[in-house]
Structure 1
Amino acid sequence: MIILFLNCGSSSVKYSVYDWDQKKSLCAGAVERIGIEGSFISQDRNGYPTFELKRNCKDHKDAINLVIETLTDKEHGVIENINVISAVGHRIVHGGKFAKSVIVDDKVVEELRNIADLAPLHNPAHIMGIEAARALLPNVTHVCVMDTAFHQTMPASSYMYALPRKWYTDYQIRRYGFHGSSVLYTSRRAAVLLGKNVDEVNSIVCHIGAGASVTAVKNGQCLDTSMGLTPLEGLVMGTRSGDIDPSICFHMMKKLNMSADEMYTILNKKSGMYALTGDRFADQRDVRKGAANGDELCKLALDVECYRVKKYIGAYMAALGRLDCIVFTAGVGERATNIREMILKGLENFGIMLDEERNNAADTNKAECCISADNSKVKIFVIPTDEEIVGVQDIVALLAGTYDVYTKFRYIFQEKDYRNKLRDAAFIEEVKKRPFLLKAAVNLPEQLKQELKN
């Protein structure tokens, strides 16, 4: 069974192709600059050089058509023809009150339109992608995978805002949360690493990238999460402010005669790390480089970011009552050794003990790692996220009629012997270059460990 997975932005279409029978990803790519001069497609396929092609795409239909052409190309493609595609998955950033993935029909599209203003930077583009893909592939099942679905188990005490009741009843103003597929995957992998059932584990998942969130998972279900109605709330991010006093907005709108749209742009695209570094760096790699070279604003930006994460960890520890593990994932969480150290420093009295050597060894996204000390009461894991496999299995189960809300559904990656073969192969190559990476890696078969040591 071949699954085409799409993630449509306002001027881009990211895609991947997954072979369910072989349990492996065939390729991943993106069409960039849709509707802008200089559109191009870039595709990565395991074992082959990156393929790039420039072609103007005036809209999402053009872009998805280019994706299909590339996937079926005799030289660069991965499938014989579009007829082998069993389903198309669509990642939806804001699924509103959808509690699970759903097969697309006109009613689903209409509901996404109704909540489009809750995620104006994302959902309108998703809808354009769905319509374009349905037009090009009308005989294929299309499925929406909701990034907010995992968080629908939050109690009202977590998701309600202290705002006029009619705002909730008439306009659906509440906390929704995001990065749901990532949290679902990593929290369940953490349970496997702990050797426990999912419903026995309390975890805090720190998904830290350009967008960032912290989620409290109690007995395998979302208890609370830092992002809110939109992805703006919570942590300091690349260009998003995260939590602020709302009065600042009204004060500065008056001072600068600023419109609501202008303020929205500032909070989402001109704040965060970018603002803290003096309107210079939104990418944390640049911020870390600046800090290492003595840039005081870059140092401050990292201090503010890490302190905010630490505060959420502390709050969620209190909310959970008992904490089994902390998980770091996503681009920064998986690769930034010093960021993990800054976040966890000072939490030793709570039984959170970082092993410096293991933490330094976990600087690759190619393997699951344990970076806590042996005497740490709370385990600390670095787990590479895999949102694709969550969506793919949802789609496969929907087609088979076996799917249900995540609290009643078991994923293949919850099995003890689940392996990501492509990631294992990449990790082996990493270890050959840097043997010290083995110090932190967990869940590796003994035979593989011995082979790598030899």
Structure 2
Amino acid sequence: MSNSFVLVINSGSSSLKFAVIDANSGDDIVTGLGECFGMPEAVISWKYNGEKTEEAITAPDSHHQHAIDRIVALVDTLGFNKDIVAVGHRIVHGGEKFTSTIRIDEEVLAEIESLSDLAPLHNPAGAIGIEAAMKAFPSLPQFAVFDTAFHQTMPQKAFTGAVSNELYKEYGIRRYGFHGTSHYFVSREAAKMLDKPVEEASFISVHLGNGASVCAIENGESVDTSMGFTPLAGLMMGTRSGDLDPGIIEFLMKKGWSQEKVFDTLNKKSGFLGVSGLTSDARGILEAMEDGHEGAKLAFEVFTYRVAKYIGSYMIPLSHLDAIIFTGGIGENSLPIRREILKNLNLLGFVEDEKGNEDARFGAAGIIAKSEVLGAVAMVIPTNEEFVIAQQSVELL
């Protein structure tokens, strides 16, 4: 058995995703999820050799620790605890401090916690996961991989907000971007597919899932991205509004809305869910469209139009375009959404390969359109953020 397994942990405020990854091949050995933390129905489940197991979490106040203790027992029972060489943690926000993967020590952990103002739902949970893992695996090196790190190559003109410079100096208000691990991974895979060095390749990477973002990648580096100071900016998403006039916030608050209600609405009741009045799930939107639901049809049109508009605008920072890359749950699997986005890009000359588009789903990569105008292609590449976390952890060893 290989001795380069990495335990990858993605710790949320009420959940914890984990996987044991072979850092050489990218294969999942075990994948699992602890969820509903803080509630009576808290459970942990995992899949190994195609079989799923689920059990209740009974520890009342320490669900993260209980979940990690259960993972320790699981890898011990399965007999590959000696093959795990590192623990890699997905951390949402690295601010300007962290520009690459880093080995975690007490100082790094304190820095992650100090960035909690920038990601109040995510960084504290990430820190809890790190502390629990350090306690459970005291002899293993632990690494932090940041969602924001890949975007730290953006030029100042791309990350600077058009507000008072004091807001940047005092509070760090600027564009940070997220989904960096995904955009990094698919850009490297796309370069391989095109047989071109990534340092000479330019892409527009389109990560479409419940959260969604676009990234302009020039010579392998992020030069602009649609998410901003928080993941609320940019594209319309499952429940997030994406870009909107900030004056709307003032308007609603003058109408008596509380700050909490405004941001709860923008984060949890907007996007597909808000426009359709039906569901946040793209599959449900497509099904309802077939049944003639007007709200679902409008949500589909707004979403695909906005994605295409961002793709068009992200031609600006690039010297040339090799490929548009679709990834994420929607980007990898939704044929009608990809088709509509490509139709909206007709001025850029993209012609859909209908069979290629149908084939590139459910885990399959492939080229789905070509543009003679730009000498570029559109392609689908399944993302694998856990593999990046495992790989970068092993590289730092």
- Partner Cα distance (1:68, 1:285) in 2: 36
2:70 is the counterpart of 1:66: yes
2:332, 2:361 within 8 Å by CA — same for their partners in 1? Answer: yes
Deviation at 1:395, TM superposition (A): 0.6
1:8, 1:125 within 8 Å by CA — same for their partners in 2? Answer: yes
**SS of structure 2 residue aligned to 1:87:** strand
1:347, 1:353 within 8 Å by CA — same for their partners in 2? Answer: no
Q: Deviations over 1:382-404 (max 9, x none)?
A: 001111121111111111xxxxx
Q: 1:10 aligns with which of 13, 16, 20?
A: 13
- Partner Cα distance (1:318, 1:166) in 2: 28
Counterpart in 1 of 2:147? 147
1:116-135 equivalences in 2 (<5 Å): 116-135=116-135
Q: 2:45 aligns with which of 42, 45, 59?
A: 42
Q: 2:56 aligns with which of 54, 57, 66?
A: 54
Counterpart in 1 of 2:211? 211
Letter of the 2:333 counterpart: R
Scaled by the length of structure 2, what TM-score is found? 0.94
Q: Deviations over 1:140-179 (max 9, x none)?
A: 1111011111100000000000112121112111111111
**SS of structure 2 residue aligned to 1:44:** strand
Greater RCO structure (CA 8 Å; 6+ sep): 2
Counterpart in 2 of 1:315? 313
Q: Deviations over 1:59-109 (max 9, x none)?
A: 211121122222323xxx3x344x543211110011112100111111111
- Partner Cα distance (1:265, 1:149) in 2: 27
Aligned structure 1 segments of 4 or more residues deviating by more than 4 angstroms:
373-376
**SS of structure 2 residue aligned to 1:371:** strand
Matched positions, count: 390
Q: Deviations over 1:214-263 (max 9, x none)?
A: 000011111100000111000000110100000001101111x2222222
- Partner Cα distance (1:304, 1:274) in 2: 12
1:35, 1:57 within 8 Å by CA — same for their partners in 2? Answer: no
Letter of the 2:150 counterpart: F
- Partner Cα distance (2:371, 2:222) in 1: 28
Give 5+ residue unaligned stretches, structure 2: none
2:206, 2:326 within 8 Å by CA — same for their partners in 1? Answer: yes
Deviation at 1:321, TM superposition (A): 4.0
- Partner Cα distance (2:155, 2:315) in 1: 17
Letter of the 1:70 counterpart: L
- Partner Cα distance (2:86, 2:36) in 1: 26
1:10, 1:122 within 8 Å by CA — same for their partners in 2? Answer: yes
2:57, 2:67 within 8 Å by CA — same for their partners in 1? Answer: no
1:208, 1:328 within 8 Å by CA — same for their partners in 2? Answer: yes
2:389 is the counterpart of 1:391: yes
**SS of structure 2 residue aligned to 1:50:** strand
- Partner Cα distance (1:22, 1:244) in 2: 42
- Partner Cα distance (2:294, 2:59) in 1: 43
Deviation at 1:346, TM superposition (A): 3.7
Deviation at 1:57, TM superposition (A): 3.8
Task: Pick closer, same or farther for the CA change 1:22–1:321 going to 2, 3 Å.
Answer: closer
Counterpart in 2 of 1:282? 280
Letter of the 1:20 counterpart: A
- Partner Cα distance (1:230, 1:85) in 2: 34
2:22, 2:390 within 8 Å by CA — same for their partners in 1? Answer: no
Q: Deviations over 1:176-230 (max 9, x none)?
A: 1111111111111111111111121111000000000000001111110000011
Higher deviation after alignment, 210-219 or 280-289: 280-289
Deviation at 1:138, TM superposition (A): 1.7
2:158, 2:223 within 8 Å by CA — same for their partners in 1? Answer: yes
Counterpart in 2 of 1:101? 101
Higher deviation after alignment, 214-223 or 341-350: 341-350
Deviation at 1:373, TM superposition (A): 4.3
Give 5+ residue unaligned stretches, structure 1: 400-454
Counterpart in 1 of 2:259? 260
- Partner Cα distance (2:136, 2:191) in 1: 41
2:178 is the counterpart of 1:178: yes
Counterpart in 1 of 2:369? 372
Scaled by the length of structure 1, what TM-score is found? 0.83
Letter of the 1:202 counterpart: S
- Partner Cα distance (2:311, 2:23) in 1: 36
Deviation at 1:364, TM superposition (A): 2.1
Letter of the 1:39 counterpart: A
Identity %: 44
**SS of structure 1 residue aligned to 2:223:** strand
- Partner Cα distance (2:215, 2:59) in 1: 38
Give the number of the structure whose residues are more often strand, by fraction: 2
Q: Deviations over 1:391-450 (max 9, x none)?
A: 111111111xxxxxxxxxxxxxxxxxxxxxxxxxxxxxxxxxxxxxxxxxxxxxxxxxxx
1:38, 1:56 within 8 Å by CA — same for their partners in 2? Answer: no
Counterpart in 1 of 2:343? 345
Q: CA RMSD in A?
A: 1.6
1:8, 1:129 within 8 Å by CA — same for their partners in 2? Answer: yes
1:57, 1:63 within 8 Å by CA — same for their partners in 2? Answer: no
Deviation at 1:119, TM superposition (A): 1.0
1:353, 1:378 within 8 Å by CA — same for their partners in 2? Answer: no
Deviation at 1:25, TM superposition (A): 2.1
Letter of the 1:330 counterpart: G
- Partner Cα distance (1:233, 1:375) in 2: 32
Deviation at 1:35, TM superposition (A): 1.7
Counterpart in 2 of 1:271? 270
- Partner Cα distance (2:371, 2:204) in 1: 19
